[in-house]
């Protein structure tokens, strides 16, 4: 591979406090040789060709901490190849995959299979999680130690919550000993039972069973109380309400943990559901505008650490049903960055804070050397025209399933190129 020179770019790399006009040099091994203002036309050997980025932005490759892939068992929804192509078009170069497959990722042989498939079929970095409990049943713990040795990055039951407090205390105790990361989907199952949307005026108007925000609050408070006793690496996958933001802000003063938010809950509210739009049936549900604004403030004030796509592909047959019967979730990995940039364009949050929540923060939580432009690190990055207008059309999406929550939405900001290990794998 020839050495590559990129000049005339706006470079943002939160890990290295880099926010300046400059360039990037990629060496013959696909590693970063130099980054920042010191890379310019005057410092490049005269014989060498360079790529003029034309004042577009260079960001580290995005790290998405919550992605559902259909492989194994649900390949008709998404497989590693289609996921990889969709991710690259959105500037995502590393993903954390959930264990909610068929069979469930809960044993060593399944991990071996998953890693082989990810390596053979994917062009991006795949970091698999395993389930906290056998077959996601919430009763018996999986073998954390063995699975971690096989390369499991974290443990989660994905869409399910550990309801049993005794079991959760055992999980946290084991996690503390093994120094492994626990990711919890915070939702009390009894309070959320049969629920489909946020509990309130909209649920009453539509005649749908609601999910109260206290269902989330109760699990967060319980887990953080346990965390005081069993100090382990703990991450709340995604929060959706103002009450949750308030608790987390208080608890972070004395406790060490992290939390994420879905881009859907940052950008949409329950009013967007309109007349039974099943493509907006999500978990956690979209809540009130006051909740959305509180989440934005939480991200702005760094109470919330990470933005995730919560990419959950579903085929149209599973979505075009009655609201009660429709599957929950939306595909969002290729619109994650563009939708996040909306918060910058409407002056809600600084650009650097948004990029930090999409790159270096998730990498820090996961303890992986991704989401940065460190010298000597793999050259995983994307070039973005942050002002380019475009309209989301589900038929133009690369993902195998087209269940986007923002069909026909006007966005500003588009990934033009994505590189992994210095190789261009996506070009607009």
Phi then psi for 389, rounded to 5 degrees?
A: -80, 145
User: What whole-number distance in Å separates Cα of residue 99 and Cα of residue 96?
Assistant: 10
Residues with Cβ within 8 Å of 314's Cβ and at least 6 positions away in sequence, in order, are 77, 327, 329, 330, 331, 401, 403
Residue 382 · residue 424 · CB < 8 Å:
no
Q: What is the DSSP string of 82-124?
A: HHHHHHHHTTEEEEEE-S-SSS-S-SHHHHHHHHHHHHHH-SS
Phi then psi for 234, rounded to 5 degrees?
A: -130, 135
* C-alpha pair distances (Å), 197 with each of 206, 244, 272: 10, 17, 11
User: What whole-number distance in Å separates Cα of residue 196 and Cα of residue 212?
Assistant: 10
Residue 209 · residue 203 · CB < 8 Å:
yes
Residue 378 · residue 31 · CB < 8 Å:
yes
Candidates 310, 378, 380, 385; catalytic one: 310
User: What whole-number distance in Å separates Cα of residue 99 and Cα of residue 281?
Assistant: 21
Catalytic, 310? Answer yes
- The angle formed by the CA atoms of residues 295, 258 and 288, to the nearest 5 degrees, is 20
The catalytic residues are: 310
């Amino acid at each position: 591979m020839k050495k590559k020179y990129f000049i005339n770019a706006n470079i943002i790399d939160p890990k290295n406090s880099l926010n300046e006009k400059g360039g990037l040099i990629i060496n013959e091994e696909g590693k970063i040789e130099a980054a920042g203002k010191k890379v310019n036309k005057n410092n490049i050997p005269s014989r060498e060709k360079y790529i003029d980025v034309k004042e577009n932005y260079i960001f580290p490759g995005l790290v998405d901490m919550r992605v559902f892939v259909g492989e194994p068992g649900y390949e008709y929804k998404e497989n590693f190849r289609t996921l990889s192509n969709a991710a690259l078009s959105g500037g995502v170069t590393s993903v954390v995959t959930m264990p909610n497959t068929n069979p469930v990722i809960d044993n060593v042989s399944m991990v071996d299979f998953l890693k082989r498939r990810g390596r053979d079929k994917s062009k991006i970095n795949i970091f698999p999680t395993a389930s906290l409990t056998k077959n996601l049943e919430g009763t018996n713990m999986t073998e954390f130690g063995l699975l971690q040795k096989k390369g499991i990055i974290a443990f989660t039951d994905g869409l399910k919550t550990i309801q049993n407090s005794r079991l959760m205390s055992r999980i946290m105790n084991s996690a503390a000993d093994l120094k492994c990361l626990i990711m919890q989907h915070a939702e009390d199952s009894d309070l959320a039972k049969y629920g489909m949307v946020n509990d309130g005026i909209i649920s009453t108007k539509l005649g749908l069973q609601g999910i109260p925000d206290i269902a989330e609050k109760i699990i967060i408070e319980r887990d953080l109380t346990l965390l005081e006793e069993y100090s382990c690496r703990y991450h709340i996958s995604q929060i959706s309400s103002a009450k949750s933001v308030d608790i987390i802000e208080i608890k972070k003063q004395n406790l060490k943990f992290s939390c994420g938010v879905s881009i859907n809950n940052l950008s949409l509210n329950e009013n967007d559901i309109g007349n039974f739009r099943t493509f907006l049936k999500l978990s956690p549900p979209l809540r009130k505008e006051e909740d959305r604004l509180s989440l934005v403030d939480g991200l702005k004030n760094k109470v919330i650490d990470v933005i995730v796509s919560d990419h959950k592909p579903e085929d149209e047959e599973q979505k075009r049903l009655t609201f009660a019967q429709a599957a929950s979730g939306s595909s969002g990995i290729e619109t994650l960055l563009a939708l996040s940039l909306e918060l910058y364009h409407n002056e809600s949050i600084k650009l650097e804070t948004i990029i930090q929540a999409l790159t270096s923060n998730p990498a820090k939580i996961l303890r992986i050397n991704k989401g940065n432009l460190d010298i000597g690190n793999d050259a995983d990055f994307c070039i973005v025209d942050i002002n380019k207008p475009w309209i989301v059309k589900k038929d133009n999406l690369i993902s195998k399933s087209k269940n986007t929550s923002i069909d026909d939405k006007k966005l500003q900001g588009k990934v033009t190129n994505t590189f992994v290990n210095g190789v261009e794998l996506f070009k607009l």
